[in-house]
Amino acid sequence: MEDDFMKYRSPLVSRYASKEMAYNFSDRKKFTTWRKLWIYLAKAEKALGLPITDAQVQEMESHERKLRHDVMAHVHTFAHCCPTAAPIIHLGATSCYVGDNTDYAMLNLCSFCPQLARVIDRLANFAEKYADLPTLGFTHYQPAQLTTVGKRACLWLQDLVMDMRNLQRARDDLRFRGVKGTTGTQASFLQLFQGDHDKVEELDRMVTDMAGFKKSYLVTGQTYSRKVDIDSLSCLASMGATIHKICTDIRLLANMKEIEEPFEKEQIGSSAMPYKRNPMRAERCCSLARHLVALLADPLQTASVQWLERTLDDSANRRISLPESFLTADIILTTLQNITEGLVVYPKVIERHIRHELPFMATENLIMAMVKAGGNRQDCHEKIRVLSQQAAAVVKQEGGDNDLLVRVQADPYFAPILGQLDSLLDPKTFIGRAPQQVARFLSEEVRPLLEPYKSKMDVKIELEL
């Protein structure tokens, strides 16, 4: 226990990550995968006629999970456990056979799809519920034309849907490195099979199939192209950018007291200010999402400096950037699911904010109504301009409420439309096609995307803050 206090432990694992993702990058997962790959290779070589016995393969299989604590060290350890099979372990292979192919087992983009599907599902339900609840829109973070709470959630959903498609594409594009040898030429295997090219190709195909992949890359150097890492991590970084935007929006709306993330009964918002309800989950997501986005620089630079068939300056970097990207993506997706399962909306606060701004937004409607009632547009525009500036001065200089409507009602010029004011100022007449857009988007783009993950929707997330 004392040793634990003397060593740095990444909070990604010790504090935040799920057990499943932490295990995915554990030594046990890595080393058991190495042994599986050696067994796949031996089985395929045996099937293609190399002098490997059933007893040797069975011995390897029986010791697959009996681990002790670089690749050659494990070859020797495995050989020590399997003395009969020792001569044929790692036969014809290079360290990248187990190293790179194991990386593929860990770069498991499939695991993120059900997680992301649950977030999309929760937000889709939220968008549907609030599809026609008017709220202030904002451009330049200044009040703009009204939208709805549900339509705004669909902006978040649109980005998440794009992230899902990116993940699915990268997952489907992923190929196995396969059995390629020291510089990718398969020369050692061609020698083992005495110049039989067909058997070398079949060996590659068989091992790829045993590892659960449909295809392997036809050409590699000593390693698979490090652009594969870029492809995988760019999907995660892009998703990080999406989550940062969503959680920033939630933090801004929480400041306005319009929307809040879930808040536990015993949760403390601030040690100094007990009345506060800080958006801690959204802040955590933003903090870690920045890290996830920044990690993309590593595979970009690593791929750019791989000389010729391979250099080893990728290794130490990848030991950090690959696990941290996956661990971080897992954490922010889990946290965002928890947020979306408990988002709280305050319609009365939203309504008050609309009332404060709507009179200014309604001026064009007032002008059009006056013109229909026989008024002159230029005269009406000038009247509205003067009254609007007077009301704005009350708001900005005196800190008062927006009294434009009171001024309009008091001006005899607007007598012809006073009876229409309530309908002219109904917030639902300012939201355009937002509810219809929500309904179509959910039915045509969101719900069909979730169909493959229906059986995995019931998982709920509880967080330790």
Encoded tokens for 428? 């639902």
Q: Which amino acid is at 69?
A: H
CA–CA separation, 33 and 37 (whole Å): 6
CA–CA separation, 317 and 21 (whole Å): 19
Encoded tokens for 254? 């929480």
Encoded tokens for 111? 């695991």
CA–CA separation, 262 and 401 (whole Å): 31
Sequence-distant (6+) residues with CB within 8 A of 444 are: none
Contact yes or no for 92/192 (Cβ under 8 A)? yes
Q: Which amino acid is at 315?
A: S
Element (H, E) at 300: helix 297-304
**Cα atoms found within 13 Å of the Cα of residue 214, Cβ hemisphere only:** 4
Contact yes or no for 162/449 (Cβ under 8 A)? no
Tokens 């059933």, located at residue:
54
SS3 for 84? coil
Active centre residues (catalytic)? 140, 270
